Amino acid sequence: MKLRYNFRLYPGPDQCRELARAFGCARVVFNDALRIGRDAYAQGHARPKAAELSTRVITEAKRTPERAWLRDVSAVVLQQSLRDLEAAYSNFFASKNGTRKGPRVSPPRMKKKAARQAVRFTANARWSITPSGKLHLPKIGDIPVRWSRELPSAPSSVTVIKDPAGRYFASFVVEAQDKPLPELDVEETDTGIDLGLSSYAVLRGQKITSPKFFRRQEKKLRRAQRVFSRKKKGSNNRRKARLVVARIHARIADQRRDFIEQHTTTITRESQGVYVEDLNMKGMAARRGRLGKSVHDQSLGKFTRTLEAKCARHGRTFVKVSRWYPSTQECSACHELTGPKGRDQLHVRRWTCTGCGVAHDRDTNAEVNIRAAGRKRAAEMRHEAERQNACGERVRPRKSGQRSSKQEPTRSPAVHHSEAGGITHSHMGEDVKTAGSSRRPSTPTSTADRVI
């Protein structure tokens, strides 16, 4: 599987200017190619191919006075910008045809000078990592890198990213092998995970308190945004104030990412089976009203995706339980739906079942129910996997007394009454149907004419 490793870069002033030039050239090439495609569509012509676009917006454009500065950056950066445009068109057409999963994708739009910028270097650019540990990029130079870990294999490409806070990162794509962890006892280590707001996640015998990174920085962020809004547009003071706001957001994102990585790694190591609710995070944020900011602050969707990827890599069982399963309302002892129902009962954290009289903690009871439903779903998935052939198609089990298809067919004719009132004659293993007095010749029929 392919993984992405990010490392912090520390370019000098001259290298920052060269990277800014690379960002701008890649953006201009993307916009020129997109403009040519739009003009061709407006005139009723087919969109030019990638090779033709490369010739027009890169090779020929370098010879003109208006685009002569494209020679100052690596040609691979410009080629990769065209590849990004082709990928954007492919995603748009696939979404329009219904062959792409997920939300609808809009057609590619013109790029503007945004706060986040990126360029990609492939092996053709001849970038390298120097013996001293620096990243050598063509026409940019050797950039110091802060290595936090070793790469598992030789990277195939590197993407240089400048985030809104003004920080530079090198993102390497590497090929990594799966690392299955030692198997654990399922009955003792599997866990259900109940995600929420009051508690970030409730596991088997453990509660993870909500960190609320955004809420803790909200007052400081509000003050910085107020200062930013009062600065004159286009001034240096406004640019500095924007960096202050961006750095606060970057700190919140870094804290949240580190929190998710640490807890998902711990859960993967200590659990053989992990069962999580399949929540609709966008719907929850829209329905919660003033609590929508808290829903986004939790970032439960990223938590679930990260946990699923780690379970797949380390050989753990990961199952999503249906979002319509009433894990909170169902009593884990008698399985009656006597728990709190509706949005007006969200404040009820403890309740007593009216059927069996057992007192429940709302989140702990939900975790027990999710774990039981996850085990059942995992067993069904294993059963379905056993019923599939090498091509992934479902195999129908043979009924008792049914003859194998490899067995020699009986040559003696057998007569059976069909539902249509005719007679089916078995002739050398082929079925020929006669209706009424008319009779077809006793020759093998096609697959569509056989009576099964």
Active-site positions?
Answer: 194, 277, 363
Of 152, 164, 131, the C-alpha closest to 5 is: 152
- How far is Cα 249 from Cα 259, in angstroms, rounded to an integer? 15
Q: What are phi and psi of 350, to 5 degrees?
A: -135, 140
The closest alpha carbon to 82, from 113, 114, 52, belongs to: 52
CA-wise closest residue to 430 among 439, 420, 414:
414
HEC letters along 78-146: HHHHHHHHHHHHHHHHHHHHCCCCCCCCCCCCCCCCCCCEEEEEEHHHCCEECCCCCEEECCCEEECEE
Residue with token string 């995706």? 305
The DSSP-derived string for 383-436 is: HHHHTB-TTS-B-PPPPTTPPPTTSPPP-S--EEE-TTSSEEEEETTEEEEEBT
Q: Determine the length of the chain.
A: 452
Beta bridge partners of 143: 135
DSSP letter at 322 equals P
Q: How far apart are CA 274 and CA 263, in angstroms?
A: 13
Residue of 77, 81, 57 whose CA lies nearest to 139: 77
Smallest Cα–Cα separation from 280: which of 304, 258, 312? 304
- Whole-angstrom Cα Rg for the chain: 31
DSSP string, 349-375: -EEE-TTT--EEEHHHHHHHHHHHHHH
Half-sphere exposure of 285 toward its Cβ, with a 13 Å CA cutoff? 13
Widest distance between CA atoms in the chain? 98
Alpha-carbon distance of 254 to 440, in angstroms, equals 77
